[in-house]
Structure 1
């Protein structure tokens, strides 16, 4: 990528309208965020400003402008065509199934606005299945957090997350502002590894109301168990995605062990 012109850092983006000194983030990052907002309002294959145009607009070096665009290329938000310029890519609405990226981070990468609506947050008795998967004594108590995650104001996933009761500090999280995973890390429990299963489902009447779809709408349901840095069960979550608003990509290898069998 090369060295970024950090002499630009303390300058202010005139298009942001802020006084000098109010934004000390790197200039390439400021340009990157501005481009993300533009991408969100454009269609796939629409052209974006050239590096020369970005240099003139934001008052930066070509190397700084190139660094901002390259970060978007790396995330498949834009693509370049030699001799023609940079264009908006098809929206990346998929997640690799073998990777877990926080929903808020997925939306940020896509240049979309993330928000959450809290449905409930409470301590309650654990079910037998929850106690087994979280390796809890039976009977046990768990923290349950239920919320709808939205992308650009559109309900996309109904999420029910269950945690061991010693993590009751999660009940104090401001879900409009704070991250559950960041809170877990602050409590000394870092989400590290996980396993998930995926199946098809349909929305019942209550789910349909929360997700703003018709009852019977196809849902993609993912149940995942996340462990912490010590291999201890940390989170058991069921995410119910609206089928036409979300998808998972799967990378796989072909099992050829039975290739000689007719």
Structure 2
């Protein structure tokens, strides 16, 4: 006996077929259009769309609609590049939206990562990172307070690495970790994904030309839009 799949699954399958034939940035039917076409409630239509957004296949822009997502950005983790440099190498336009910036007391984790005395001040920068206008990640940057000069740069248009180089602190090497988490309500809003969507979390501490920590950053990437490529070589036993 054949079981009819739930309505949201039927809609999801049809949207997947449309996405397979479309180009990145092409518009997709609105929730209202899906409701009319499939005779379902707005909640059911939204459920199908949110599942595809979680997979990184589409994204929403408030007030404009739903669009086919870019092919996921791949990054090799054995090279230190800024987000701007990574996007440029792939023919994409990097952008940022400043969410917050200023100087405040560093947390225990931040001062340890930057090798600063307890209670030290840090520069705190929070940005939404974009590739061709598509939200890719929420980035939390912490710098020693002596680097506060970078706040004078236009960090919505230019690279933080360039701003650091301008004050004599050239990023040269990094040490980091990768973990995973679920998007909270605020992150979901910024990234245009459902609450609880999978995020790839990269924490890295960057050292300058004198091997002194100059940046501690946590980047929270949308799982389906940004992928890390890893090459492993087997060592003799």
For the criterion TM > 0.5, the same-fold answer is yes
1:207 equivalent to 2:187? Answer yes
Q: Is contact 1:113–1:151 with CA below 8 Å preserved after alignment?
A: yes
Q: Is contact 2:80–2:173 with CA below 8 Å preserved after alignment?
A: no
Q: Which has the higher strand share?
A: 2
* In structure 2, C-alpha distance between the alignment counterparts of 1:132 and 1:114, rounded to whole Å: 30
1:171 equivalent to 2:151? Answer yes
**Which residue in the other structure is 2:104 paired with?**
124
Task: State the TM-score, normalized to the length of structure 1.
Answer: 0.62
Q: Alignment partner of 2:189: what SS?
A: helix
Per-residue CA deviation, residues 132-158 of structure 1 (Å, 9 max, x unaligned), is 111111111000110001111110011
1:247 equivalent to 2:227? Answer yes
**Which residue in the other structure is 1:222 paired with?**
202
* Structure exhibiting the larger radius of gyration computed from Cα positions: 1
* Structure 1 unaligned blocks of 5 or more: 1-40, 44-89, 258-262
Matches within 5 A, 1:1-262: 93-255=73-235, 257=237
CA root-mean-square deviation: 1.9
Q: Identify which of structures 1 and 2 has the higher relative contact order when contacts are C-alpha pairs closer than 8 Å and 6+ apart.
A: 2
* Structure 2 unaligned blocks of 5 or more: 1-21, 25-69
**Which of structure 1's runs of 4+ aligned residues deviate more than 4 A?**
none
Q: Alignment partner of 1:139: what SS?
A: coil
Count residues with an aligned counterpart. 171
Q: Is contact 1:135–1:233 with CA below 8 Å preserved after alignment?
A: yes
* In structure 1, C-alpha distance between the alignment counterparts of 2:195 and 2:71, rounded to whole Å: 27
For residue 255 of structure 1, report the CA deviation from its aligned partner: 4.5
For residue 92 of structure 1, report the CA deviation from its aligned partner: 7.2
Task: State the TM-score, normalized to the length of structure 2.
Answer: 0.68
Q: Identify which range, 133-142 or 235-244, moves more after superposition.
A: 133-142
Q: Is contact 1:92–1:110 with CA below 8 Å preserved after alignment?
A: no
